[in-house]
Amino acid sequence: KAGVTQTPRYLIKTRGQQVTLSCSPISGHRSVSWYQQTPGQGLQFLFEYFSETQRNKGNFPGRFSGRQFSNSRSEMNVSTLELGDSALYLCASSLNPSGSPSYNEQFFGPGTRLTVL
């Protein structure tokens, strides 16, 4: 079974540009979450999608947006890039819907490393 894939793996953009990152979850997984990792702020939750609906959003400006398609693939978009958006962006997929007390492992992809110049 293929793992979570993220494309591209590396990206270099300049300030003011926009960027789209893609995440393909494990087959059968309907939940996709996105995280931003920076040296200063650590790992922070961006948003989660389940069955094409955004279920939760972290404390990020509106420049950060996302969507999920019917095949559960997800994209996140950052508009008007700032230097501080340079980070490793990780996505995670999971099988179970939230609210279940049963084991619900979050499987991570390799990440997309975004550099904003």
- Spatial CB neighbours of 95, under 8 Å, sequence gap ≥ 6: 26, 28, 29, 30, 31, 104, 105
Between residues 82 and 105, which has the closer beta carbon with respect to other proteins?
Answer: 105
Between residues 86 and 106, which has the closer beta carbon with respect to other proteins?
Answer: 106
Interface characters, 84-113, with other proteins (x: CB under 8 A): ----x-x-x-x---xxxxxxxxxxxxxx-x
Strands 10-13, 112-116: pairing kind: parallel
Judge whether 19 and 2 are in contact, CB under 8 Å: no
Is residue 35 involved in binding other proteins (CB under 8 A)? yes
Residue list 46-85, contact with other proteins (CB under 8 A): 48, 50, 55-56, 58
Judge whether 86 and 94 are in contact, CB under 8 Å: no
Is residue 45 involved in binding other proteins (CB under 8 A)? yes
Is residue 12 involved in binding other proteins (CB under 8 A)? no
Peptide bond into 8 cis (omega under 30): yes
Q: How far is the CB of 16 from other proteins (least distance, A)?
A: 26
Judge whether 56 and 68 are in contact, CB under 8 Å: no
Binding site for other proteins (CB under 8 A): 31, 33, 35, 42-43, 45, 48, 50, 55-56, 58, 88, 90, 92, 94, 98-111, 113
